[in-house]
Amino acid sequence: MFTLLQNSPDEFIQFLKKHHIRRFHFIYDFDKEKVIASHKVLQPIADFLMQDQRDFAKHEGIFCQLTKKHDVLQAGFIHKTNRGNAAGGTRFWPYATIEDFLRDGLRLSKGMTRKNALAGLWWGGGKGVVAQTDNLDIHNQGLRRDIFREYGELMSAIRGVYVTAEDVGTGPQDIADIFSTTRFSTCIPPTVGGSGNPSQPTATGVVRGMEAALRFFDGGTIKERTIAVQGMGHVGRPLIRMLLEKGAAKVIACDIKQGNIDLVVKECGSERLQPSLVAIGDNSILFTECDVLAPCATGAILNPQTIPQLKTKIVCGAANNQLEDGLRDDDTLFERGILYVPDFLVNRMGIVNCANEQYGYIPNDPYQLRHLETEWEHSIFHVTFKILQISREQGEPPAHTAIRLADVQAEHLHPIFGHRGLDIIKGLVQDRWFEE
């Protein structure tokens, strides 16, 4: 059963070619309460999605293509468009099986629905996934250009129901290539009107989350605290600088690249900064005795192996999907009395920075800054504090609370366009977009 799902991307690509399929989709039919595939031979995948209890979550649509040049598998996942068309970045990543490819897209796009809703953005949740396969030389610029130009064509073909952006494995040049074939991309280069690198606002958002957590924890601030930061990259660097500026007693930080450590030391060298170079896979910084642990490198680092060894009071960082298993690990942290600030709450500035870039720019844009101030009801500080408070009152771990609140907000309809995304999807199905 479902053997297609255990195919590697390469095997699945051969299957698609054998059946002369270039574009295809899986749509949730809300009337029939069924997932429908565009092609009969793909219905087993639709049935698998229908039966999945964990990740599918009634995704409104998944739109896929096999590129004409280089045969690359690409997809746009649209989870929920009540608050607006789907917005989220595109990941370029290797997958062992088609099930892994699908699950990553599903999980990430559902996460974007929640992140966007909690941020008060009038955007729905979506994510793009492009499969890296062994035969692709991902450092070849010409090849990348072909891949991402065709990805832009996919965005155009699905009529804006999903607006893409940068994510793990994609960079500014890839987005410029996407933008050359579609208007439905954000995070485009500043030279053509885009918003540029969001890492500084992301780091400020993490600081706001920490401040709310510390206020909640003991009424204090960052001053005189010990903070451990894993990852000294684009977010880690400004984060460390701000923590030192705010009077942290000690910032213990690590990275796997000496060059990135050198940049931080050059920018904000201080005797209160204790940087170290670690080997890939060395997670010992997680076990540092500290007030706040800020994961700013990779995901899934909080799991049954690491959580029992943590010696922090609070976890608050930028890395996506820090909990290996969202609900299980949230439970364990809660049982251990460690305050966990959900990552999708504090690292929102990446999407906030680019989601509305078509509305133009104002210096010190109040629509951006309100996320980083304390008054606005959807600000990072305010929402973090509220979630921690509800979590304590209800005896419920904070990520559970955040998800519950996000899921309520995700149902709200866009004040102008209503549930237009669903109408776009219906039009695509009716017009058999995949035959164009």
The least distance separating ligand NAD from the CB of residue 300, rounded to whole angstroms, comes to 10
Residue nearest to ligand NAD as judged by C-beta position = 233
Could you say which residues in the range 210-239 bind ligand NAD, by CB under 6 A?
A: 230-236
What's the farthest any 2 CA atoms get from each other in the chain? 65
Q: Which of 334, 85, 68, 381 is nearest to 208 (CA)?
A: 381
Beta-bridge partners for 62: 26, 77
- Distance, in Å, from the CA atom of 436 to the CA atom of 432, rounded to the nearest integer, reads 8
Pairing of strands 226-230, 250-255: parallel
- The C-alpha torsion from 305 through 310 and 313 to 317, rounded to 10°, is -70
The least distance separating ligand NAD from the CB of residue 407, rounded to whole angstroms, comes to 21
Q: Which is nearer to ligand NAD, 309 or 394 (CB)?
A: 309
The least distance separating ligand NAD from the CB of residue 341, rounded to whole angstroms, comes to 14
Contact status: 169 vs ligand NAD (CB under 6 A): no
Residues tagged active-site: 127
Given 61, 111, 194, 198, the residue binding ligand NAD (CB under 6 A): 198
Alpha-carbon distance values, 295 to 135, 217, 309, 324 (Å) = 33, 19, 15, 13
Size of the site for ligand NAD (CB under 6 A): 25
- Distance, in Å, from the CA atom of 130 to the CA atom of 424, rounded to the nearest integer, reads 23
- Distance, in Å, from the CA atom of 29 to the CA atom of 382, rounded to the nearest integer, reads 37
- Distance, in Å, from the CA atom of 61 to the CA atom of 26, rounded to the nearest integer, reads 6
Q: Which is nearer to ligand NAD, 353 or 401 (CB)?
A: 353
Given 39, 257, 404, 419, the residue binding ligand NAD (CB under 6 A): 257
Q: Which stretch binds ligand NAD (CB under 6 A): 152-160, 253-261, 306-314, 378-386?
A: 253-261
Given 27, 296, 345, 387, the residue binding ligand NAD (CB under 6 A): 296
- Distance, in Å, from the CA atom of 308 to the CA atom of 9, rounded to the nearest integer, reads 37
In order, the DSSP letters of 374-393 are SSSTTSHHHHHHHHHHHHHH
Neighbours of 257 (CB within 10 A): 14
Contact status: 313 vs ligand NAD (CB under 6 A): no
Contact status: 254 vs ligand NAD (CB under 6 A): yes
Given 177, 255, 291, 329, the residue binding ligand NAD (CB under 6 A): 255
Given 318, 341, 346, 428, the residue binding ligand NAD (CB under 6 A): 318
Contact status: 278 vs ligand NAD (CB under 6 A): yes
The least distance separating ligand NAD from the CB of residue 273, rounded to whole angstroms, comes to 15
Q: Which is nearer to ligand NAD, 13 or 244 (CB)?
A: 244
Given 43, 132, 156, 298, the residue binding ligand NAD (CB under 6 A): 298
The tokens describing 267, both together, are 């920018």
The least distance separating ligand NAD from the CB of residue 201, rounded to whole angstroms, comes to 7
- Distance, in Å, from the CA atom of 158 to the CA atom of 38, rounded to the nearest integer, reads 14
Q: 313 in helix, strand or coil?
A: strand
Q: Which is nearer to ligand NAD, 212 or 349 (CB)?
A: 349
Q: Which is nearer to ligand NAD, 38 or 226 (CB)?
A: 226
**Footprint of ligand NAD (CB under 6 A):** 168, 198-199, 202, 230-236, 254-257, 260, 278, 296-298, 318-320, 347, 350
